[in-house]
Structure 1
Amino acid sequence: MSDAWTKWQCIQNCGACCRLDPTDRGEAIAVLNERQQEIYFGMVNPDGWCKHYDTGGRRCRIYDSRPDFCRVGLLASLFNLPQDKSESFAIHCCHQQIRSVYGGRSRELRAFERSLRLPLQKDG
């Protein structure tokens, strides 16, 4: 990935992370503990999408109370990676998931890549 990709951020109208089909997520499911796996499998609809995913609005209906494994900022800790790898790991995971769900030439992937190249905003 390019050095210009400096900060992960979620993009609107994507929802690729809400595609929970266990056949596509074996590696991720393997790092979850038994309780997390129970929650995960309870969230998967027969079509492979999360039952909390609003397909019309393309957003999570439980975003503020979503499980820890749905929080991109916590992905590195689930995989026992050091905190300094958190940002690059989140970018890699989202890139891979968006590509898998929507394709390598999708508008979602292009939007995600553009968002990563935006200058970092300063607080304050």
Structure 2
Amino acid sequence: MSRHSQNWACLQHCGACCRLAPEERQEAIEALTPEQQSQYLAMVGNDGWCIHFDSGARRCRIYAERPDFCRVASLCSLFNIPEDRADAFAIACCRQQIRSVHGGRSLELRKFERLIRSTPPSR
């Protein structure tokens, strides 16, 4: 592993991944099985946010019981990503989603960049 490699970590109270609006997440929805797609679409509120997202606390109300497709560990299998590319893929996904939801110059994106630079490898 290069000393410049970054390790994925979740930025708590960001909530960008809870923005489920189907028109904004078509590639993600297409990677799901038909059953997962139904579950995903059932979780989308009228405002495009997950119905389980607590917007005040910016956290998931069902975190421990959230579906597999809400777990970063599932990204590799959903998108056929080799395990050795998991961190880079998760980081790219988070950057894209944080930019989309919070903006490219947002505090959330700056915090995420600091977090991934300081996170030690989990393996």
TM-score, L = length of structure 1: 0.92
Task: Give the corresponding residue for 1:9.
Answer: 9
**Displacement, 1:84?**
1.2
Would you say 1:31 and 2:31 are equivalent positions?
Answer: yes
Q: Could you list the per-position Cα deviations for residues 40-74 of structure 1 after superposition, in whole angstroms to 9, with x for gaps in the alignment?
A: 00000010000000001000011111001100121
CA contact (8 A) 2:7 2:121 kept: no
State how far apart, in whole Å, the 1-side matches of 2:32 and 2:60 are: 21
Instruction: Rate the CA distance shift 1:114–1:43 in 2: closer, same or farther, 3 A.
Output: same
**Displacement, 1:120?**
1.4
Task: Give the corresponding residue for 1:18.
Answer: 18
State how far apart, in whole Å, the 2-side matches of 1:40 and 1:122 are: 28
Would you say 1:73 and 2:73 are equivalent positions?
Answer: yes
Task: Give the corresponding residue for 1:49.
Answer: 49
Structural RMSD (CA): 1.7
Structure 2 SS opposite 1:23: helix
Identity, % of aligned positions: 58
Task: Give the corresponding residue for 1:99.
Answer: 99
Task: Give the corresponding residue for 1:118.
Answer: 118
Counterpart residue identity of residue 76, structure 1: C
**Displacement, 1:4?**
3.5
Mean alpha-carbon deviation: is it higher for 4-13 or for 100-109?
Answer: 4-13
CA contact (8 A) 1:43 1:50 kept: yes
Count of residues in correspondence between the two structures:
121
Structure 1 SS opposite 2:22: coil
**Displacement, 1:20?**
0.1
State how far apart, in whole Å, the 1-side matches of 2:112 and 2:100 are: 13
State how far apart, in whole Å, the 2-side matches of 1:122 and 1:76 are: 16
What are structure 1's unaligned runs of at least 5 residues? Answer: none
Instruction: Rate the CA distance shift 1:80–1:122 in 2: closer, same or farther, 3 A.
Output: closer
The runs of at least 4 aligned residues of structure 1 exceeding 4 Å deviation read none
**Displacement, 1:5?**
4.7
